[in-house]
Amino acid sequence: MSPRRSAAEAARTRDRIIDRSVDLASLEGLEGLTIGRLAADLGLSKSGLLGHFGTKEALQIAALRRAAAVFNAEVWEPAAPAAPGLPRLRAVCAAWISYLEREVFPGGCLFVSATFEYDGRGGPVHTLLKRQFHAWGERLTAEIRAAVRDGGLPRGTDAAQLVFELYGVMMSLNHTIQLNGDKAAATRAHHAVSRLLTP
């Protein structure tokens, strides 16, 4: 086997491991990522799987980074072509609701479940989660400020408060879908966002 082919196969195997890790973590939490379970699910040896990551923590971090890429593709990229400010903010929220409603991850939003697991802990996983949430909050804040400058939202709008409330809507939506299977939850979320983003 050529080195190039070997490297390509290793990359494909690594991607399979990460994809399965994201799905499993959304269902059972990042702590539910065990080497034995993943190896059995993917038909790999434990030593072969460990060879790609070295530690469980490295696997958890890889799963969070992959989940962030999926979230970006599902929520930000569809909304990015909208005009900056209120139009883009509304498009982001619509895509965010759709992402949760369609259950892109089988156990709901991985970031919501990971936050409950790691919000009181330290360490690299906590640090990455905090950085990811901060980056998303900054992106929302930028759109809110653009909306205020353009007159789409009232002068004096508290961007930090509005981001806080939007997070609250989306976390409540994820919870209601995952715990109760409430088919009306997305409609409620749309109504809540509409109230928050109406000038």
Collapsed DSSP state (helix, strand, coil) of residue 88 = helix
Alpha carbons 106 and 127: distance in angstroms, whole number: 25
Contact status, residue 89 vs residue 159, Cβ threshold 8 Å: no
Domains, in order of start, for the chain: 3-196 (1.10.357.10)
Collapsed DSSP state (helix, strand, coil) of residue 34 = coil
pLDDT tens for the 199 residues of the chain, in order: 555 557 788 788 889 999 999 999 998 889 888 888 888 888 888 888 878 888 889 989 999 999 999 999 999 999 999 999 999 999 999 999 999 999 999 899 999 888 888 888 889 999 999 999 999 999 999 999 999 999 999 999 999 999 999 999 999 999 999 999 998 999 999 999 999 999 8
Instruction: Give pTM, 2 decimals.
Output: 0.89
